[in-house]
Structure 1
Amino acid sequence: MQGVGRIGAVVSEGCRRALAWLIGGGLLWVARAATGVRPLWQGTVPRAVQRVYFANHGSHGDFVMIWACLPSVLRRATRPVAGQDYWLASGLRHFVASRVFRALLINRHPQPGEPSPVDQMAQTLADGDSLIIFPEGTRNTGESPLLPFKSGLYHLAQQHPDAELVPVWIDNIRRVIPKGEWIPVPMICTVSFGEPLVRQPLETKDAFLARAREAVLALRPAESR
């Protein structure tokens, strides 16, 4: 009976992998077909090195746009950071986040004794993966193009200085996936990747975060300003 159970577990795991592959392919097709998303590698090129992609955040679909722009070999090594509160709200969301995107699901408000989001991200980098993060800390639904950055990016730069910090601007995403909607509105979306940011010696946290924010804003297309 134990042998039967092990076979069943293997078959079940195989089915999950197949389903994740199918869903991933479907989401990739939808992202490209519905939004026409295209990458603009303005200050760097896609390379198989460890990176922290840090971007503006206006929609739940943001990391999907970045993910869709990466070559497949980089997608497999890059984990988007996302909030547990949203992605654990249903079994389907949890499956998509954990099995399709390999997302690092964080508790935004950890209890005493639980690892902080920065600790979890640092451990993921220590394990060798790259990250997609949104330093604003929440979706920006206001008029400002970019909210002030939280301190997590600074701490990651301190703890993992060899990881490249790549600024990213996602354009048109709010109109592609309006707030509260799941179905994309057909519209061209661009994802601009800038030159990796290097933390300067003796640079203060506030100065670094301000410079990182400006690096993202500098990628914003002129027609969107």
Structure 2
Amino acid sequence: MHHASTDASARPARRYRALTRTAALVIVGMASLLTGVRARWTAGEPTASPTLYFANHTSHGDFVLVWAALPPTLRRMTRPVARADYWLRSALRRFIGRDVFRALLVHSGAGMAHESVELMVQALSKGESLVVFPEGTRNTTDDDLLPFKSGLFHVAMSSPGAQLVPVWIENLRRVLPKGGVLPVPLACTVHFGAPIVCVPGESKVDFLARAQAAVLALRPEHARDNAPSVIQANHP
């Protein structure tokens, strides 16, 4: 009797987990249909180890594309880092951000930076991977990147066991133009670079400059000039 009661009480949770998995597949499918998202790995296929993916940021759909570009086995261990004030604003956003993508929700504002860093360090120490956008906000300027915030430096220095992988998201700004009502179907590519390493004694300024340069180096025009070896992959 007790066993039957326990099984019955667990059914809603199982159904909800199934719903979130289905929603994730639907969202990834829609992103793939709209953008034809594909991954390009300049340093070989990724490994299932804790990784901090740091990328350029132009839209609220960025983390969906990075997540969709990963192999399915890595998606299950990868969480986007996102602002709580945006993703908790409505029931739909909470469902997508918190439940479907298991986003690590952080709070912005004075005094919250240290807490955000601690949450990211803890997640990486547990074997999870994270997608972060070190510009701190969406870039709506004509510049390729905004200056990186210091959080990336502090997380990297406190997580020696994590890989630090630069990412460049190509074309999403044109798919979701500023002020546009509907997305424009265009092919998007997510470029994953070779991991960078922390240098003992390196200053925050030097590390952030090097991290920013690693992301910018993945731009298609730069890649063509330097012709790196590239592995291209499409993941359903």
- TM-score between the two structures when normalised by the length of structure 2: 0.87
Residue number in structure 2 paired with 1:56: 56
Question: What residue identity is the alignment partner of 2:151?
Answer: G
SS of 1:216's partner is helix
Question: 1:2-151 counterparts in 2 under 5 A?
Answer: 9-109=9-109, 116-151=115-150
Deviation at 1:9, TM superposition (A): 4.0
> Within 2, Cα distance between the matches of 1:57 and 1:5?
47
Question: What residue identity is the alignment partner of 2:104?
Answer: L
SS of 1:197's partner is coil
Number of aligned residue pairs: 223
CA contact (8 A) 1:37 1:69 kept: yes
| Unmatched segments (≥5 aa) in structure 1 | none
> Within 1, Cα distance between the matches of 2:147 and 2:108?
17
Deviation at 1:43, TM superposition (A): 2.4
Question: What residue identity is the alignment partner of 2:55?
Answer: A
Deviation at 1:182, TM superposition (A): 7.5
Question: What residue identity is the alignment partner of 2:158?
Answer: Q
| Unmatched segments (≥5 aa) in structure 2 | 224-236
- TM-score between the two structures when normalised by the length of structure 1: 0.91
Question: What residue identity is the alignment partner of 1:107?
Answer: H
CA RMSD of superposed structures (Å): 2.4
> Within 2, Cα distance between the matches of 1:80 and 1:88?
14
CA contact (8 A) 1:35 1:184 kept: no
Question: What residue identity is the alignment partner of 2:79?
Answer: R
Identity of aligned residues (%): 51
Q: Do the aligned partners of residues 111 and 195 (structure 1) sit closer, same or farther apart at CA in structure 2, a change above 3 Å counting?
A: closer
Q: Output one character per residue of 1:21-78: Cα deviation in whole Å (capped at 9) or x when no partner.
A: 1111111111111101110101242211110000000000001001001111100001
> Within 2, Cα distance between the matches of 1:103 and 1:161?
22
Deviation at 1:103, TM superposition (A): 0.6
> Within 2, Cα distance between the matches of 1:171 and 1:79?
21
CA contact (8 A) 2:49 2:127 kept: no
Question: What residue identity is the alignment partner of 2:76?
Answer: R
